[in-house]
Amino acid sequence: MVVDRRLRVLFLIAMVLLSLAGMRSVWFAIAKADTLRDRAHGQQTIQRDVLAMRGEIVDRNGVPLAVTEPAADVSVSPQQVEELRRQSPGQEPIVLARLLARTLGVDQAETLEKITSRKQFVYIALRVPETKIQRLRDLAAKKDPRTGRRAANLVPVHLEPRNRRIYPNQAMAGQLLGGYGDYDKALGGLETSLDEVLRGRTGKVLQTQAGSGSALSRRVVEPTVPGKDVELTLDARIQAKAEEALQELGQTYRPKRATAIVMRPDGEVLSMANWPRVDPNDPAGSPQYAKQNTATNFIYEPGSTFKAVAVAAALQDRVVTPETTFTVPYQINVADRTIADSHPHGTETMTPGRILSQSSNVGAIQVGLRLNERKGKDAFDKWMRRFGFGSKTGIGLGEEQGLLLPVDQYSGSTMGNLPIGQGQMVTPIQIASLYATIAGRGMRHEPRLVRKVGDKPVAGSDGRRVLRPAVAKEVADMLAGVFEAGGTASAVKVPGYTLAGKTGTSNVVDPDTGEYVENRNVASIAGFAPARDPKVVIVVVAEEPAGGGYGATVTGPAFADIARFVLQYQKIPPG
């Protein structure tokens, strides 16, 4: 009797528990269905980004300057390493550490310490080439003939796709190209300015995987779009020659930095070289100041290379003619300032051409003063701006715009400074644009570096007329006198060719005192060749050569060396 009662109680309890379990199952099935489904889905399905291949950068002849190869950041989950160790049969952490060290070239002891830490994940190596990743997979999949087991289980190893950027020519055009760092970030130069077209579009995939981490299925949600290749106007051979010439200049005169620009009169840049050189394959291997592209970001007082502005403007505005004469003493007073020529001389009669060839400060000031007297006090300012000074050139790189003093802030002596290249701040690319305008028969084109994006050519600017063709030719003839006997650049020669241009030597201002510092200057030369039918424009600028030095002496040899190579390389006939 008692036994029957106990059985009935136990049976009742069992039925109650069974009913509760059934009700809970129904509740889970109905009330929690969406939550459980989402949780299961989240555990098994992962959305991953698929990085697009970055476009290549090549020169105008197809020479690769920046290329991309598939790579990955390799990380490890220490938690999964520990889970593998506890399985039967387990995998000891040293097995994975040994394999990673062998294939990725990392330190084994350091790797073992990382993968056995308590962190959620640890990075082992960044931007590992696909060739090394595949070797890792192959060695891990290799089976032991005795046990039939794989050499290593790679479930704890995670690969994050990356673009590994390679610059095949090492330091060539380093500052211009910029660089490409970890986590797919452009590090300046063309890599930054062209990032939108080079980068492409990242794709997305949904990957379903088993609890072990192995992929079960993969579905593309958004396809990747590869980045576009970019063809530059640059010529790798001219770039190499310009850098070679700057290297010799740097070793001889030890400036802080130097740049050489080679471009065509239509604005196409054939070379943009900098010294000291920087290897974009090793961004951390150079000091920060050296990474700056001096051609577009160095601002300085241009000195005598700017005298061409005063003469060209006066000719264009018909204030002077090539035959106009000026009585030029050794020095001139402008308001409270006395300005002298670089070398003592008696009072001379000079034409605009002689003013340029002798680089007379007094003569250039007289031309500038006459321009403002005849055409208004803002005439010279308008001409500086018409030639592009005081604004960016539009080259498509990060660039400085220089500095021009507003006319309403002129002092009485300002027009004693501006015509001789003092009191305004310019960049080397702006000076190159000035001389390209003269060489291009008075048409000013925006300097450009990009020739083609993908399969589409990039058209240059139509240009804007600044000088009448006759005036441009008159100025070019005058600038040819600078390289003739008695001119400031008479020692700069390219046998068989007539050169035209202007040298410049400008002092450096001490930012603390506001005064010019003795033996600290910027040496430069700007010009084109052949003088009668210009095909190439060259500008060389050296910042603070050791002990000072004139433009012709410091930068003249590099100018001649580059000009000689380019004229012969491009098969431009002598004469």
E-only strand ranges, 20-178: 45-50, 57-58, 64-76, 122-129, 157-166
Question: Quick one: fold of 48-232?
Answer: Penicillin-binding protein 2a (Domain 2) (3.90.1310)
pLDDT at 283: 80
Angle between helices 33-44 and 2-31 (to 10 degrees): 70
- Write the CA distances from 503 to 39, 208, 307, 328, 392, integer angstroms: 74, 69, 10, 20, 23
Provide CATH 3.40.710.10 ranges for the chain: 236-280+289-569
Report d(CA 361, CA 415) in Å as an integer: 12
What residues form DSSP beta bridges with 157?
A: 76
Residues 6+ apart with CB under 8 A from 555: 249, 258, 503, 523, 524, 525, 540, 541, 542
Q: pTM of the entire structure? A: 0.86
Q: At 151, is the pLDDT very low, low, confident or very high (cuts 50, 70, 90)?
A: confident
Tokens (6 digits) for 143: 């089976």
Lowest mean pLDDT among 34-38, 108-112, 250-254, 374-378: 34-38
Looking at mean pLDDT, say which of 68-82, 335-349, 466-480 comes out highest: 466-480
**465: part of which helix (H) or strand (E)?**
strand 464-465
Residue found under tokens 């106009």: 324
Q: Tens digits of per-residue pLDDT, 525-566? A: 999 999 999 999 999 999 999 988 899 999 999 999 999 999
pLDDT at 513: 80
Tokens (6 digits) for 41: 């889905």
pLDDT at 479: 98
pLDDT at 8: 65
CA 302 to chain centre: 23
Report d(CA 341, CA 551) in Å as an integer: 15
Tokens (6 digits) for 536: 């190439």
Higher pLDDT, 287 or 325: 325
- Which of 100, 80, 283 has its CA nearest to residue 178? 283
pLDDT at 275: 97
pLDDT at 575: 73
- 206 near 233, Cβ under 8 Å? no
Higher pLDDT, 436 or 181: 436
As a dihedral over the C-alpha atoms of residue 338, residue 343, residue 344, residue 347, rounded to 10 degrees, the angle is: -80
Q: Tens digits of per-residue pLDDT, 354-396? A: 999 999 999 999 999 999 999 999 999 999 999 999 999 999 8
CA 255 to chain centre: 21
pLDDT mean over 318-331: 96
Higher pLDDT, 538 or 53: 538
Burial of 23 (0-12, 13-18, 19+ CB in 10 A): exposed
**Which one-letter amino acid corresponds to residue 505?**
T
Provide CATH 3.90.1310.10 ranges for the chain: 48-232
Higher pLDDT, 235 or 143: 235
Report d(CA 357, CA 421) in Å as an integer: 16
Q: At 213, is the pLDDT very low, low, confident or very high (cuts 50, 70, 90)?
A: very low
Percent helix, strand and coil across the chain, each rounded to 5?
Answer: 40, 25, 35
pLDDT at 518: 80
pLDDT mean over 460-487: 95
Angle between helices 379-386 and 361-375 (to 10 degrees): 110
Report d(CA 393, CA 530) in Å as an integer: 25
Q: Is 328 helix (H, G, I), strand (E, B) or coil?
A: strand
- Annotate 317-347 with b (16+ C-beta within 10 A) or e (fewer): bebbeeeeebebeeebebeeeebebeeeeee
Report d(CA 416, CA 411) in Å as an integer: 10
Q: Which CATH class is domain 236-280+289-569?
A: alpha beta
Q: Tens digits of per-residue pLDDT, 127-144? A: 899 999 999 999 988 887
Phi-psi category of 501—alpha, beta or left, where left has phi over 0 and alpha has psi -120 to 50?
A: left
**Which one-letter amino acid corresponds to residue 254?**
R
Burial of 26 (0-12, 13-18, 19+ CB in 10 A): exposed
pLDDT at 19: 64
Q: At 268, is the pLDDT very low, low, confident or very high (cuts 50, 70, 90)?
A: very high
DSSP 422: -
Q: At 490, is the pLDDT very low, low, confident or very high (cuts 50, 70, 90)?
A: very high
Looking at mean pLDDT, say which of 138-142, 174-178, 213-217 comes out highest: 174-178
pLDDT at 7: 60
Alpha-carbon torsion 555, 561, 565, 567, what sign? positive
Report d(CA 352, CA 315) in Å as an integer: 9
pLDDT at 372: 97
Tokens (6 digits) for 87: 């399985």
Higher pLDDT, 257 or 512: 257
Cis peptide before 302 (omega within 30 of 0): no
- 230 near 198, Cβ under 8 Å? yes
Higher pLDDT, 296 or 20: 296
pLDDT at 235: 98
Residues 6+ apart with CB under 8 A from 429: 261, 295, 296, 393, 395, 399, 447
pLDDT at 34: 55
Tokens (6 digits) for 51: 């990085």
Higher pLDDT, 194 or 17: 194
The percent of residues in the chain predicted with pLDDT above 90, rounded, is 69
What residues form DSSP beta bridges with 523?
A: 505, 542
pLDDT at 434: 98
Residue found under tokens 């060389």: 540
- 338, pLDDT greater than 50: yes
Q: What is 504-540 written as a DSSP string?
A: EEEEEEPTTT-SEEEEEEEEEEEEEESSSS--EEEEE
Q: Is 255 helix (H, G, I), strand (E, B) or coil?
A: coil
Q: Give the chain's mean pLDDT.
A: 90
